[in-house]
Amino acid sequence: MASSLESTLTRAWLRRGPLALALWPLSLLFRLLAALRVTLFRAGILKSERLPVPVIVVGNIFIGGTGKTPLTIWLVAQLRAAGMTPGVISRGHGGEGDSGPREVLPGSSAREVGDEPLLIGMRSGCPVVVGRRRFDAGRHLLERHPEVDVLVTDDGLQHYALQRDVEVVLFDGRGVGNGWTLPAGPLREPPSRRRDFTVVNTPELTPALALAVGGRPYRMQLAGEYAEQLRDPRQRLPLSTLAETMAGKRIVAAAGIGNPARFFGMLKAAGLRIEELPLPDHHDFLDDPFKDLDAELILITEKDAVKCRQLEHLNNDPRLWVVPVNAQIDAALAAQIVEKCRGRPTA
């Protein structure tokens, strides 16, 4: 029932149809309350705290997945290349973030810290701490890693209790949907919301899409070049080779991410003929959706792989192959973010 409701709303949010119009009065109330909350923080009535190092927020106003995790991993690498020592803080969606700040360690489980922070820690190699209150998570990280001189917040754009120095707002090819805020549309805040930088995760940034999101956007593209076997990552094949060797065989692509269509589209663009298996975002895989699946190859995302590796029956399934992706963005974006961070006054 929940999945059906989500699908109905997702379709309604892309146009101004009957359902969206019926919900529009509620969206006006939502927008008013969101604006009031921002005003209370700016007036100091609601408390907002500052950490002693620059804070970069990577977030979105479009509800659901737009590609924040790959963007965060890319940004960490760019900051490190610029001579900085980054750390990452996150809410830890899907994990036990309510228990207070918790550092993501090599032996952490996705159930404890969340799938996305676990993936960021594995891919970036930088300190990652999760916690419901970003300020507490940041302080916890800095106490344990005093060498860190810049923090990237994975998500948390609307978490105004933590002051930030740079805001990066990420969209994907859906743009702003029908342009309305929740519940009549997919937006947490109006498209006119201020930000420092705008990024759009899309194969093609059309003039209409750029105009819709605003902010002189940078284009981001997620590229996957190969797949590696889940149980033995040394077994690696280019996607083009997989497309040739598996021609005529049943390939299923599964994705428990915010926008599975993006993953499926990337695989099809690589020449793979796949059957799509979209899963709920942050799917825990305890129910094993592959148990009765008649397929010779199952391609999954990195985000799903961090959970599948921690379940013995899935980790040993030879059909499961992971497709890592990397964000490709104009390096000028990183240079401007670094410049803003270095120009920040010392707290």
Of the candidates 140, 174, 204, the one whose C-alpha atom is nearest the C-alpha of residue 15 is 174
- 3-class state of residue 14 by DSSP: coil
Question: In the beta sheet, which residues pair with residue 103?
Answer: 129
Q: How far apart are CA 87 and CA 109, in angstroms?
A: 19
How far apart CA 137 and CA 80 sit, in angstroms, is: 21
Say whether 285 counts as a known binding-site residue: no
Of the CA atoms within 13 Å of residue 275, those in its CB half-sphere come to 12
d(CA 282, CA 149): 30
DSSP 177-216: TTSPBTTTSSBSS-TT---SEEEEE-S---HHHHHHH-S-
- Is 63 marked as a binding-site residue? yes
Are the C-beta atoms of 338 and 82 separated by less than 8 Å?
yes
Annotation-wise, does 135 bind a ligand? no
Alpha carbons 146 and 42: distance in angstroms, whole number:
29
Q: Report the amino acid identity of residue 284.
A: D
E strands present in the chain: 55-59, 86-90, 102-103, 128-130, 150-154, 166-172, 197-201, 218-223, 226-229, 236-238, 251-255, 275-278, 297-301, 320-323, 326-329
Longest CA pairwise span in the chain (Å): 63
The tokens of 33 are what? 């309350």
Q: Is 340 labelled a binding residue?
A: no
- 69 labelled ligand-binding: yes
Annotated binding site for ATP: 62-69
Annotated binding site: 62-69
